[in-house]
Structure 1
Amino acid sequence: MASSIFHFVLLFLLTFSSSRVQSHEQGYIRAEISNKGLEFLKDLLIEKAESSLVPLELPNIEKHVKIPIVGTVQMVLSDITIERIHVTSSTLKSGDSGIVIDVSGSTANLSTNWKYSYSTWLLPIAFSDKGSATVQVEGLEVGLTLSLKTLEGSLKLSLLECGCYVNDISINLDGGASWLYQGLVDAFEGKISSAVEDAVPKKIKESIVKLDSLLQSLPKEVPVTNIAALNITFIDDPELSESSLDLEINGLLSAKDEFMLSSKYHSLRDSFFCKEADKMVKFSFHEDVLKSASSVYFEANKMHWLLDKAPDQSLLNTAGWRFIVPQLYKKYPNHDMNLNLSVSSPPIIEVDKQQIRVKVPLDVVIDVLDVDEVIPVLCISVDAVSSSGENSKFGLLQVISTSMSAEISRNAVTGSVKLNDFTMSLNWSKVGDLHMRLIQILMSTTLKTVILPYVNLKLSKGFQLPAFHGYELLDAQIVCKDSWIVICSDVSSV
């Protein structure tokens, strides 16, 4: 079975389970798949199964028929192969013991070779003939019941029941004196039907066993960058209702090979409605996912930036500061400067109604460039409160205020940050006392014209959402509320 088919079937099976086992853990990332999404996945599975189940070889069939005067005729069908299966109707529903998938009204095409031989007391020689045949199966029905449960953070897949039934079958011979033996070969219809009814469930069972093995081998964390990994252990069994299916994973980021301990949070009790209610999938991300990522990058010393260019380059020269910090200009006249930015502690992140509020404790060290020497001259601490609109125009940046709603389209998540307010204090200075009120005015200008444009430039590059085996999000929307970021979307082929 092809690897790509395995992944499609795996994606489908990840969505099903017969019951929900309560757990004391919580999932920080949740996926909700609507009936529309389940139908999409079901149809995708059926489409792949039509090709993955074939060619399917059946055992040889042999039969002896006694004919008056002629004697005993030996007939053999060999190289029996199901070459094509076409599904015309299928349904999915929740049963008492699991998820039930019914396939009905389907057809199958088989090919085979036939041979007969007999001898009679009337003549001293044996007679034989051979040829090929095509078999058409009508009204093929397949039913299976699946169970998917969470076991130690992984998924355990089981096939509870599987059955197959053939309603009608017709055999057409070719070669030899086929017209003469058509009536005899029709006697094989029952055995061919039984062979199909035995082979199809066996093939499905083998596939489920392989898929279960694949599920058990999946890692429990996925590298996101060279320093961070996403905890993808499953929390509770998937839950299926009349309108959707819910999945939960831990979803917190940690340094590679170091799982983070979960904390309690306000549960997602209320439903989130996107503009289009009938979306295939809905992903919910708790603010703690962002906090865990922030913590990992802070501990890895990745929240440090050096600014040496600005839209207004005078802000990075002592001449631009001569009236505010006269001692700086007097000591280093017309010297270029760098702004050395370091986050002093993990940012505080809160998801509110249609906005993400971030409080960043930032140390800004001003470096003077003197010939080949970089001289730190003063350090200012800034507690900046900003809001980020995850305005994910998938490839197109749109700067938004905290009052604007976010959007998603195409294949990259971008964002923008707008400054709401900030406070500042002087940590140390090598150029004497400063007029902090004037410094705050200048720093406000610097934040708005230098630092935030720099940050937004980085965010404008976006975060590419990888396609899943040729499929991506379509017409996605974002809703932010009560500590959760919710993305509603359809799915389409790339």
Structure 2
Amino acid sequence: MVWAFVFVLLGACCRAEGTNAGLKGRVTQKGLEYGQQFGLEAVKSLLKKEHVPDLNGSYNIPLIGDVGYSVSRIQIQELQLNESVVSFSEGTGVRLVISNAHIQLHGVWRVKVLFVPDSGSFDLSVSDLSLSTELGVSRDDSGRLQVWSSNCRSSIGRLDVKFHDGASWLYNLFTGALQAPLRYEVNRQLCPELGKGISDLERVLKTMQVSAQIDPFAAIDYSLVNKPVIAREHGDMDLKGEFYGVGKHRESPFSPAPFLLPDEGDHMLLLGLSEFSANSAAFVYFTAGALRKNFSDDMIPKRSPVRLNTGSMGLFFPELKQLYPDMPMELHLSARKQPLLTCRPDSLDLVLLGTAEAFVVLPNATLASAFLLDLDASLAGQLHLDSAKVGGSVALTDFSLSVVRSHVGSVQVKTLETLLKLALRMVALPMANKKLKKGFPLPSVYNLSLVNSHVKINQGFVLVATDVQYKA
């Protein structure tokens, strides 16, 4: 339905009211109109598969008397929604107005005249049909979207019916007399049936997840933190956007700062991704011990002049190769504090505070600690986005090294720091940027893909402005 598309967009996406959000989403009038285009086509396809509820009643026909009728197995053969307008209803939700619509139906009739039953099929044509309704939106206590319908009105300008089989030749003589009661019954069913569809949507929304596990370490809470804000030309939603540990929901030391989405109507969808969300993810991975990696010499690029063995590392630790001549080594890297991301205009700043502990691999395969270093690095990053991938680039802005302890004598700190900085700039970062340039595929949500996308880094958040394209 067109409603489903609108709220898929909203749910994938406010003025700050109440709790600050980690993620913000906005559907513009342009997005709503696109939803109308394919949403109504989806309605046509869906309705043609559905049976209209049975109609039962009686009517007095002159010269014949009371005719009890039952109309069943009604199926839509053709549906033309010639004029339709969908718009935001400020403070409520979305308003849909359909006018000059035409419906062609086919079904089975049964009548009983003077206790004599008869049956056959019929074709029913409804023209100049008009319907208007509003779909309200709110938030329940669990952070899920709530919907309801209100102010539904419908009218039918003309109804024509033609009977087949049985004594159809007789009943067709009296179709003029049947038009009024049939038009009344059909019109009486329209708004209640629409209300049932909205109730079905509401039941689905009540069962939708408001969190998702990303991997064995982290999950994300994307529940609504405020009621949706519906303005004249857009609809906004605030989502929590906080990562938490799987099995251990530790409170993050960060809290979301308020931010506002810009007034921009050129795209269908605006998404605001705050630095709070990224930093809550970093906190989860840090506390879970996931930000660590062990390296051996066979993992070092062959073109690297520095190897993980005592002969090579002895250039910076003179006593190392004397104490452990020609022995392999391991380097254990880990974060000593969680990474910290800061969004500032046109740049992402990332601070990494880590440790590097080197071990000598002894002949019996045990590890002997050689030295422990603190490594501090600052990076600046850029993002780019296209219809299928997200990528970027990073550059080193600062790097420092200090010795925490050494079991192998004095350390040539400055020489080692200069060499590591050179290795980062000449080897590690080019390798990372090569992967970042290729980008990472974006998942398709509800068969929606991003097109004409633009990304801009603002103070405190990243803004994604995009159109969407639906592929059935």
Quick check: 1:36 aligned with 2:30?
A: yes
Alpha carbons of structure 1 residues 22 and 380: separation in structure 2 relative to 1, 3 Å: closer
Alpha carbons of structure 1 residues 118 and 37: separation in structure 2 relative to 1, 3 Å: closer
Residue type of the partner of 1:208? Answer: I
Q: For residues 51-450 of structure 1, what are the structure 2 equivalents within 5 Å?
A: 51-53=45-47, 54-67=50-63, 71-72=64-65, 74=67, 76-79=69-72, 81-84=74-77, 85-95=79-89, 98=92, 99-114=94-109, 130-152=119-141, 153-176=143-166, 178-256=168-246, 258=249, 260=251, 265-269=256-260, 271=262, 278-308=266-296, 309-311=299-301, 312-316=303-307, 317-371=309-363, 372-390=365-383, 407-449=384-426
Superposed CA deviations along residues 91-127 of structure 1, whole A, max 9, x for unmatched, are 12344673321112211122233466767xxxxxx98
Distance in 1 of aligned mates of 2:3 and 2:289: 41
Check conservation: 2:270, 2:466, Cα contact below 8 A: yes
Distance in 1 of aligned mates of 2:404 and 2:470: 54
Alpha carbons of structure 1 residues 92 and 31: separation in structure 2 relative to 1, 3 Å: same
Check conservation: 2:32, 2:87, Cα contact below 8 A: no
* Matched-pair identity in %: 19
Equivalent position SS for 1:184: helix
Alpha carbons of structure 1 residues 97 and 320: separation in structure 2 relative to 1, 3 Å: closer
Residue type of the partner of 1:161? Answer: N
**Which one of 441, 449, 463 corresponds to residue 472 of structure 1?**
449
Superposed CA deviations along residues 443-478 of structure 1, whole A, max 9, x for unmatched, are 213333555466557767855432112222123221
Distance in 2 of aligned mates of 1:449 and 1:380: 21
Distance in 2 of aligned mates of 1:82 and 1:172: 15
Distance in 2 of aligned mates of 1:448 and 1:57: 70
Alpha carbons of structure 1 residues 136 and 376: separation in structure 2 relative to 1, 3 Å: same
Check conservation: 1:141, 1:166, Cα contact below 8 A: yes
Shift of 1:370: 3.7
**Which one of 468, 482, 485 corresponds to residue 462 of structure 2?**
485
Equivalent pairs counted in the alignment come to 458
Superposed CA deviations along residues 398-451 of structure 1, whole A, max 9, x for unmatched, are xxxxxxxxx212433334432111111101111101121111112213333555
Shift of 1:341: 0.8
Residue type of the partner of 2:423? Answer: T
Quick check: 1:25 aligned with 2:19?
A: yes
Alpha carbons of structure 1 residues 16 and 415: separation in structure 2 relative to 1, 3 Å: closer
Shift of 1:89: 2.1
Q: Which moved more, 1:126-135 or 1:336-345?
A: 126-135
Residue type of the partner of 1:132? Answer: S
Check conservation: 1:163, 1:197, Cα contact below 8 A: no
Shift of 1:128: 7.8
Superposed CA deviations along residues 151-186 of structure 1, whole A, max 9, x for unmatched, are 222222222222221111112233356445423123
Shift of 1:288: 0.7
Distance in 2 of aligned mates of 1:285 and 1:227: 21
Q: What TM-score do the two structures reach when normalised by structure 1?
A: 0.83
> Which residue is 1:394 aligned to?
none
Equivalent position SS for 2:338: coil
Check conservation: 1:59, 1:80, Cα contact below 8 A: no
Distance in 2 of aligned mates of 1:161 and 1:272: 30
Shift of 1:294: 0.3
Residue type of the partner of 2:190? Answer: V
Shift of 1:260: 4.1
Shift of 1:55: 2.0
Q: Which runs of 5+ in 1 are unaligned?
A: 120-125, 391-406
Superposed CA deviations along residues 192-234 of structure 1, whole A, max 9, x for unmatched, are 2122212222221112122222222333322222221212221
Distance in 1 of aligned mates of 2:437 and 2:331: 21
Distance in 1 of aligned mates of 2:40 and 2:99: 12
Q: Which moved more, 1:176-185 or 1:165-174?
A: 176-185
Check conservation: 2:448, 2:468, Cα contact below 8 A: yes
Check conservation: 1:297, 1:303, Cα contact below 8 A: yes
Distance in 1 of aligned mates of 2:328 and 2:456: 44
Distance in 1 of aligned mates of 2:294 and 2:426: 15
Residue type of the partner of 2:284? Answer: V
Distance in 1 of aligned mates of 2:435 and 2:362: 29
Shift of 1:271: 2.1
> Which residue is 1:397 aligned to?
none
Alpha carbons of structure 1 residues 81 and 437: separation in structure 2 relative to 1, 3 Å: same
Check conservation: 1:138, 1:167, Cα contact below 8 A: yes
Superposed CA deviations along residues 298-323 of structure 1, whole A, max 9, x for unmatched, are 00000001233223344123333343
Q: Which runs of 5+ in 2 are unaligned?
A: none
